[in-house]
Structure 1
Amino acid sequence: MKKLVVLFSLMTFANGLFAQAHILFLMPLDRQEKTIELSNNVKLNYVEQGNRLGVPVIFLHGYTDSWHSFDYVLNHLPKKYHAFAISLRGHGNSDRTLTGYQPEGLAADVASFVKQLNLGPVIIVGHSMGGVIAQRFVLDYPLLAKSMVIVSSAANFTDNEPVKEFNSIVQKFDQPVDSAFAAEFQSSTIVHPISSKYFNTVVNESRKVPVHVWKSALAELIKANYTNELSKINIPTLIVWGEKDSFCQRKEQDELLKSIRGAKLLIYPGTGHALHWEQPERFVKDLENFIDK
């Protein structure tokens, strides 16, 4: 009889622990910074927040940014989503390898990330260079993508004169990028001012990027031309663009809209390349409407 009582007590205790653990698991995560080592031995720094049973949303930043590019977005994003913002290879506090900066390689890193965390089909959100990687991810790993949001980007950078002109400057670098140049570059991505504290954050994140990554990532970006492949994309796609974008033009948005079946285009009047910094609340609302529809 004593054995039965002890066994029952142990079972009750174990069930209580399981229930507590289950409740904790269901509670939305506050933002947590983490590092993962991929199957190719590259370590990526990222943040995770929200409901671990919610829709997985992956945010990919632009050229020389990091997961901090989505600070404002994550602040406003409802905790019902399971959100991840990644610092891509060579950026932020992720590994700074000598090679691997072509969109195909960066998309492969993202695919490895999704697989290792068992996230299943995800909503992929890419800004600028991240938008190119998002397209490559969807094209190369269609079973891992549920829907896509392309922000301030293009499918073809081979004819993009502002980016090509910027590349001609960057390829001459032989020293680490200084604060003045990083600040000038980041200033060119916005029309309306953002807080000086946050602006300093994004400038400092750009300065973390080694000069070989500044050069290699941009050289690979201007080779990207996926126009003839976009018809293969058959998932819901939202295109978001700022009317005063200094890098990506309206004609490039129209090309995306025409080539991706069923895509929708949202234009933010009077807003620049980093529209998610200038209008984070509107961006999150538009993102939420797209995901939940």
Structure 2
Amino acid sequence: MINSQSNNILDNWNYPFVINRNPFSKIHIVFCHGFNSNHNVFSSTIDSISKKIPLNYYSFTLPGNNLTPASEDQLYLEYYADLTVSFIKKLNLKEVILVGHSMGAAIAALIYKRIPKMIVKIVFIAPMNKANLPLKDFFMKNFFQKHQKKCLNLCQFMNMTKKNIKILNI
């Protein structure tokens, strides 16, 4: 396993990452995590699968998630998609299987639009969908808004009800 602490395989890459390479496999899985998650969230699943099927696994923590620093202009799905495309290209991956969880599924769809010839399959796990629409206005105003200084922690958000939500100007 190669991770951001043990190897400089990705020069000037500022985000924690994990790379599990198997020289006997041509399967390349790139995992896109969900909101406020990180690159390790799918690792135990991949470890179980890789015992039966040899594969290569790649993931990184998106800026602004899991305490990873980010500037305001980096907190957009489009930016996350562009960054992941850069990650795939830096690693010179071909025939990629994209796996996206929740927000990561939306990112995976945007990645496919950018580099369809490099993607062979997309797997959506609990993707963003219409059930999320009641929360859309809240997130657009408080998370994705261009001038928002800091984002509410997902755990705090999940414990709030709509009637007691207040915007924190930190």
Indicate the SS of the match to 2:41.
helix
Q: Distance in 1 between matches of 2:85 and 2:155?
A: 35
What RMSD, in angstroms, separates the aligned Cα atoms of the two structures?
Answer: 3.5
Residue 103 to residue 168, structure 1, CA distance change in 2 (3 Å): closer
Q: Percent identity?
A: 24
Q: Do 1:58 and 1:86's aligned partners in 2 also have CA atoms closer than 8 Å?
A: no
Partner of 2:165: none
Partner of 1:32: 2
User: Structure 1's 112 and 151: CA in aligned 2 closer, same or farther, altered over 3 A?
Assistant: same
Greater Cα radius of gyration, structure 1 or 2? 1
Q: Distance in 2 between matches of 1:115 and 1:175?
A: 30
Question: Which residue matches 2:87?
Answer: 113
Q: Check 1:178–1:57 CA distance in 2 against 1; reply closer, same or farther (3 A cut).
A: closer
What is the CA distance between 1:116 and its match in structure 2? 0.8
Counterpart of 1:74 in structure 2 is 46
On the 8 A contact 2:36/2:153 being kept in 1, the answer is no
Among 24, 39, 44, the residue aligned to 2:15: 44
3-state SS in 2 of match to 1:43:
coil
CA–CA separation in structure 2 for the residues paired with 1:174 and 1:100: 12
Q: 1:44 to 1:78 in 2, by over 3 A?
A: same
Q: Tell me how far apart the structure 2 counterparts of residues 138 and 85 of structure 1 sit (CA, whole Å).
A: 16
Higher RCO structure (Cα 8 Å, ≥6 apart): 2
Distance between the aligned counterparts of 1:95 and 1:56, measured in 2? 27
Residue 132 of structure 1 deviates from its aligned partner by: 0.2
2:32 is aligned with what amino acid? L
1:1-293 paired onto structure 2 within 5 Å: 31-34=1-4, 43-54=14-25, 55-78=27-50, 80-92=54-66, 94-154=68-128, 160-164=132-136, 167=139, 170=142, 177=152, 181=156, 184=159
TM superposition score normalised by structure 2: 0.71
Shift of 1:149: 0.4
Deviation at 1:142, TM superposition (A): 0.8
Query: Structure 2 counterpart of 1:74, which letter?
Result: I
1:138-181 per-position Cα deviation (integer Å, ceiling 9, x unaligned): 01111221110011114x66x8434326527945x877746961
**Aligned residues of 1:89 and 1:96 also touching (Cα < 8 A):** yes
Closer/same/farther in 2, CA of residues 53 and 101 from structure 1, 3 Å limit? farther
Instruction: Point out where structure 2 has 5 or more consecutive residues left out of the alignment.
Output: 161-167
What one-letter code is carried by the residue in structure 1 that aligns with 2:15? L
Change (3 A) 1:33 1:94: farther
Partner SS, residue 124 of structure 1: strand
Q: What SS class does the counterpart of residue 124 from structure 2 fall into?
A: strand
| Count of aligned residue pairs for this structure pair | 154
Q: Give the direction of change, closer, same or farther, for the CA distance of 1:137–1:179 in structure 2 (3 Å limit).
A: closer
Counterpart amino acid of residue 42 in structure 2: F
